[in-house]
Structure 1
């Protein structure tokens, strides 16, 4: 094997007849770290904050000043039209008031609880608890509102409201409050100009409907430099002017606080129990001997650099070179800085000039954001969200390379163009062509050749049926005789041709479609969507929660996640692995899950869905569908049409793990099929049920119903002990009739 290395000038490099590695630049050269800021959504109305529920891989929740919380799906690139929460008629928005903060409970996946920080119409701050709708995780239940506390603010001002809330690693809710533009508040034991620490799962005020929290027992009993007892006040730290944004380092648990200064310094403080940060007696760094009770900021900067600090996050994302660096910005200048720990201190780096903005510019940053993978975002109050894609320095800088002409010759070659407008010719053999930055020509030649985008700093959009590509390092690339693609670490869209293609999408939540031909498609890491198209395809979801899709097929399909080799119509010959979800066609499909928690979506057509074990979600879509969750606590949603919900044993929907039917509609002809259940296990043979309405059980073989809150429960007794062995939950309140069943 021969390795040929160019430089940053224009190179013509030709390989041998063996398997060569060819670089159009010097991979041993060095470069500085860079940041790409890409606008992922626009049209928001004064967005102030971005956060996610714990572990949610796709959804970004954006807080708007006017009182809306919206959901942006990073995988699809779409912002939902219906707000997650709408309190627009309950908030004051003048000055620095509004809907300011949002935090999800650590157990949100089960409790569905989240918390908001807002200015009510009287101008005071409320911290509220809500839950999402049980039937729709994309909508808040307005009726679930519980007021955690109300913090009184001076009526003479609309500024210095703070606005951040977040849960610490200890499970308690922390809140950052401003001093209300009254300087003395920060050095008192009221709740203004403070960091609060509250236990929202306890209630020290049972006779006060407006206060539903307790101060944790290990909260500080006193605050440095402030006389009196802080016990029971909820105060964790004091001496702050307007701590607008704060965050916890997800690895160390340290609390970073960005405190907006008055006329001299902006501060970054490290949260400590009982600490007093000195406002209004100090601003910025001070002589500790003069103020022994106060805690100095870990960083401060003067008015020449900015006038309103925006606290950010310690980076814990995938890019190793930035690990542990604290990213922050400034509302007035939109600069991007980091603080990097070094030998007991913190070094400041300004990345503003090293940030390439696509879809910008970035103006007035009220917040940064962090997703489940540790990737960072910038919120622009003008209505946009920017994703930050970080690239390490210290290695080669392929982008500085000029255009090269690189030829592989014979053998299975690896060719890397680096920067510039390169021409990569694989020629003979099965080659891997990586054009790098710049609009490149990738000419595969003979053999099965790959376009490689593993190092792209942004997602790529690649279509093997087209000549010209787009997105990330693929932007402007032109293909000839390319049969395979290696994707980037971002959310790629990759489409095959009508031939036999191969795709390895890489990390990220990717969308891959093979079109016709016998394709080999791998989603790799991330939550991927893969559609093989016609042909006998080999598809692997990889890690993450992945969906195999048969949307667009000309006829119905039979797909069984419990087997690798598919034998049913439509999917015959496909080989599946690593998938949790199935999306069917618009025809009559049979979709079967496996032992995992599956999402089976039938789409249009008269579909039959069966979940097997696991807590599954079955969505029939349009058409007259039949669905059976089998074991596990399943969610069944028939959709439009006359749907049949089926059970063959009470073990498939026990009282302690009952299935939930989301949309029973008698008017559409929906029914419950219990005919396959032996209604009386004390007798031989298979017995049928008798419907007794709301009456109590008197014998085995009876089915009754009861309304419990916002649900209707169908109860089954099969052994004569007058207790329900089986239960089916219905979303909504119904008067159940015998005609609703097949008994």
Structure 2
């Protein structure tokens, strides 16, 4: 049998190594300023453009919309991805670089857990292209669809695509001006739904011109009593709002709750962030951001609301991707800040309301040495959308190749804090690996210190 004689000197050395190992096991990497890490939760997607959290069959899931026409369900616990709704045979999309058609967004009914209703925004072709907003209710493997609105679009780009429910329970629809590269736009045309924000009551129906209409116009809509206006219009003068969000509000005070933020992509001059309010005119196509494009017409804009923030393309931002006001708990320094990104570079920014103006600063991706081992993901090139989870945490929907029909290069990343900002580690970190290594070294030293003796066992 093997026995060991342990000297006092070795006891001291062993104790020193173990203490250092334990300290390193609980220590965390320092950070040079605030940063975030990325954990990949889904991959091989075809341009993931939107995601939402819900409960399906008593399990938490994320629904993820692919531009090619599929809404997938991602089980939060098992990480299994399955098709939930397949509209690929209905939507129109081609495999090209600047393809802005297809399935562009969806919204879950506030009572989705009970009624299983969701609403989609897609581009479809009925001899010509239409922006179609539909209600879908799924039962088993089948689903029923009702078309709520079908708007003919003049071009193939600037189609908008955002749907969301406000805290008033109404469905808000963000329609692009569809002008396909020119500044000719119907965003100021009160008889057109293009370049507008619409608000509908989808829990009611109406009869219009002896035909059933699967929504009702809320009586509170700003132009409902003016025969010169389409009554569905809630706001106007928008170009191509790409990703809007409803602030869930401060958990303690409720501050900000219900405020709707949008990123509106510009033409050649400026990108902008807007707060959407009833009856407001956001200026397009007389104004781009803060820049007047038509001096004569700018002075005629009624109820004009300027952006809370603009930035030039010379700032390195090619096309804005709107995000949420951060109300999670992982990143305290982001609390109450509006988050947005840039499509072309994938960079993230925050806006802080100082009381006098909104100040922009860039968010930084951590070095991998500062992230847990499951949060070492490298972001893809193009940022398509910023998702928000049930608890207010954020996700990035990205791709390396936006020609989605030929290449499934899209992925969804969860934003997680660096090691020194997290209370528990879900996997081995750099410090844990160091701890294991030092224990191995100390064990080796212990064995070297052993003196082999023989004894007789009875």
Q: Same fold (TM over 0.5)?
A: yes
State how far apart, in whole Å, the 2-side matches of 1:170 and 1:472 are: 48
Measure how far apart 1:342 and its partner are.
1.8
Measure how far apart 1:330 and its partner are.
1.4
Measure how far apart 1:192 and its partner are.
0.6
In the other structure, the counterpart of 1:125 is 131
In the other structure, the counterpart of 2:384 is 366
1:250 paired residue among 248, 251, 260: 248
1:71 paired residue among 70, 73, 86: 73
Measure how far apart 1:209 and its partner are.
5.9
* Cα 1:388/1:274, change in 2 over 3 Å: same
Taking structure 1 as the reference length, what is the TM-score of the superposition? 0.47
Q: Decide whether the 8 Å contact of 1:460 with 1:474 is kept in 2.
A: no
Per-residue CA distance 1:359-400 (angstroms, 9 max, x = gap): 323211111101111110000133110111145xxxxxxxxx
Determine if the alignment matches structure 1 residue 387 to structure 2 residue 379.
no
Per-residue CA distance 1:106-125 (angstroms, 9 max, x = gap): 11121111111111123101
In the other structure, the counterpart of 1:314 is 325
Structure 1 portions without partners, runs of 5+: 1-11, 16-20, 392-435, 438-452, 462-469, 482-743
State how far apart, in whole Å, the 2-side matches of 1:204 and 1:210 are: 6
Measure how far apart 1:49 and its partner are.
1.3
In the other structure, the counterpart of 2:206 is 204
Aligned length: 382
State how far apart, in whole Å, the 2-side matches of 1:26 and 1:86 are: 48
Alignment of structure 1 residues 660-671 onto 2, 5 Å: none
In the other structure, the counterpart of 1:339 is 351
Determine if the alignment matches structure 1 residue 167 to structure 2 residue 165.
yes
Alignment of structure 1 residues 284-363 onto 2, 5 Å: 284-286=289-291, 290=299, 293=302, 294-304=304-314, 305-319=316-330, 320-352=332-364, 354=366, 358-363=376-381
1:178 paired residue among 144, 157, 176: 176
In the other structure, the counterpart of 2:264 is 259
Per-residue CA distance 1:173-231 (angstroms, 9 max, x = gap): 001110011633100121111111111111223666674111110011289xxx9743x
Taking structure 2 as the reference length, what is the TM-score of the superposition? 0.75
What secondary structure is seen at the aligned counterpart in 2 of 1:101? strand
What secondary structure is seen at the aligned counterpart in 2 of 1:478? helix
Q: Decide whether the 8 Å contact of 1:150 with 1:211 is kept in 2.
A: no
Alignment of structure 1 residues 649-728 onto 2, 5 Å: none
Measure how far apart 1:290 and its partner are.
4.9
Structure 1: 4+ residue segments shifted above 4 A: 21-27, 54-57, 206-210, 286-292, 353-357, 471-477
Per-residue CA distance 1:48-69 (angstroms, 9 max, x = gap): 1111237997311110111111
Per-residue CA distance 1:271-302 (angstroms, 9 max, x = gap): 01111110111111248995663211111111
State how far apart, in whole Å, the 1-side matches of 2:376 and 2:276 are: 35
State how far apart, in whole Å, the 1-side matches of 2:149 and 2:365 are: 43
In the other structure, the counterpart of 1:609 is none
In the other structure, the counterpart of 1:85 is 85
State how far apart, in whole Å, the 1-side matches of 2:59 and 2:392 are: 10
Determine if the alignment matches structure 1 residue 460 to structure 2 residue 426.
yes
**Higher RCO, 1 vs 2 (CA within 8 Å, ≥6 residues apart):** 2
State how far apart, in whole Å, the 2-side matches of 1:242 and 1:198 are: 20
Alignment of structure 1 residues 267-278 onto 2, 5 Å: 267-278=272-283
State how far apart, in whole Å, the 1-side matches of 2:164 and 2:186 are: 22
1:478 paired residue among 432, 436, 440: 436
Q: Decide whether the 8 Å contact of 2:223 with 2:231 is kept in 1.
A: no
What secondary structure is seen at the aligned counterpart in 2 of 1:278? coil
Per-residue CA distance 1:129-148 (angstroms, 9 max, x = gap): 11232xx5xx5x32x21111
State how far apart, in whole Å, the 2-side matches of 1:210 and 1:68 are: 28
Q: Decide whether the 8 Å contact of 2:38 with 2:379 is kept in 1.
A: no
1:221 paired residue among 223, 235, 241: 223
1:105 paired residue among 109, 118, 138: 109
Structure 2 portions without partners, runs of 5+: 1-12, 17-21, 250-256, 369-374, 400-408, 440-458
Measure how far apart 1:341 and its partner are.
2.0
* Cα 1:277/1:228, change in 2 over 3 Å: farther
Per-residue CA distance 1:613-635 (angstroms, 9 max, x = gap): xxxxxxxxxxxxxxxxxxxxxxx
What secondary structure is seen at the aligned counterpart in 2 of 1:58? strand
State how far apart, in whole Å, the 2-side matches of 1:240 and 1:98 are: 21
Larger CA deviation: 122-131 vs 182-191 = 182-191
State how far apart, in whole Å, the 2-side matches of 1:193 and 1:310 are: 17
* Cα 1:33/1:84, change in 2 over 3 Å: same
State how far apart, in whole Å, the 2-side matches of 1:89 and 1:24 are: 54
Q: Decide whether the 8 Å contact of 2:199 with 2:233 is kept in 1.
A: yes
Per-residue CA distance 1:485-509 (angstroms, 9 max, x = gap): xxxxxxxxxxxxxxxxxxxxxxxxx
Kindly name which structure, 1 or 2, has the bigger radius of gyration based on alpha carbons.
Answer: 1
* Cα 1:282/1:173, change in 2 over 3 Å: same
Q: Decide whether the 8 Å contact of 2:24 with 2:434 is kept in 1.
A: no
State how far apart, in whole Å, the 2-side matches of 1:88 and 1:337 are: 34
Measure how far apart 1:41 and its partner are.
1.5
Measure how far apart 1:331 and its partner are.
1.1
